[in-house]
């Protein structure tokens, strides 16, 4: 695997190294030893998959508050998505900054999302599928989010939002969240 530091601290874009022959290819997408060599410790508690029927479907921006903060490894396994993370760590020099990365089944890239980041994506193709590993079990009482169009972040989505859940569309402004709901 090729680990490239992301534009925000502690984030990485990971490119599987494909071994190809006449049958197709083989590539490793996770290895605890290789991750540890880059200072990335993750104990996988859950593996999730999200199927999306339509182009322009937005899911996010989600996070779990302490003590259930989670690290994620995200990969698009069918189609393509524009994956966005926002640094919500109060002590971080990049607090409030966001970055977007195109993840597609063709490029095979993975995004390493550390604790303290909100995460979401918009589908660039119909029938996009996203798979991700998380370091913590889902804790409904610790689930929070920020709006995809919150002016505090100014996220620039590459296409219009065509489909979004009522829940994701109605997250409050980050600036108005009680401290218990912030990272």
Distance in angstroms (rounded) separating the CA atoms of residues 70 and 77:
21
Q: What three-state secondary structure class fits 73?
A: strand
Written in H, E and C, the secondary structure of 150-180 is CCCCCCCCCCCCCEECHHHHCCCCHHHCCHH
Has 62 been annotated as catalytic?
yes
Distance in angstroms (rounded) separating the CA atoms of residues 74 and 77:
10
Best CA proximity match to 52, nearest among 166, 165, 171: 165
Catalytic residue among 112, 121, 132, 148: 132
Catalytic residue among 62, 109, 119, 121: 62
Which tokens go with 173?
């402004």
Q: 4 and 15 in contact (C-beta within 8 Å)?
A: yes
Has 82 been annotated as catalytic?
no
Residues with a known catalytic role: 62, 132
């Amino acid at each position: 695997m090729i680990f490239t530091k992301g534009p925000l601290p502690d984030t990485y874009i990971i490119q599987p190294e494909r071994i190809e022959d006449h049958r197709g290819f083989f590539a490793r997408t996770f290895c605890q030893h290789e991750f540890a060599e880059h200072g990335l410790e993750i104990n996988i508690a859950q593996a999730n998959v999200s199927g999306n029927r339509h182009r322009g479907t937005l899911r996010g921006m989600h996070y779990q508050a302490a003590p259930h903060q989670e690290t994620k490894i995200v990969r698009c396994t069918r189609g393509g998505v524009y994956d966005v993370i926002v640094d919500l760590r109060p002590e971080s020099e990049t607090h409030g900054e966001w970055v977007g990365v195109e993840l597609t089944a063709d490029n095979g890239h993975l995004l390493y999302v550390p604790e303290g980041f909100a995460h979401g994506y918009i589908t660039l193709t119909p029938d996009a599928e996203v798979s991700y590993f998380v370091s913590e079990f889902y804790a409904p009482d610790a689930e929070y989010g920020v709006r995809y169009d919150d002016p505090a972040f100014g996220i620039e989505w590459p296409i219009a939002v065509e489909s979004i859940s009522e829940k994701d569309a109605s997250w409050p402004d980050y600036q108005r969240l009680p401290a218990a709901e912030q990272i």
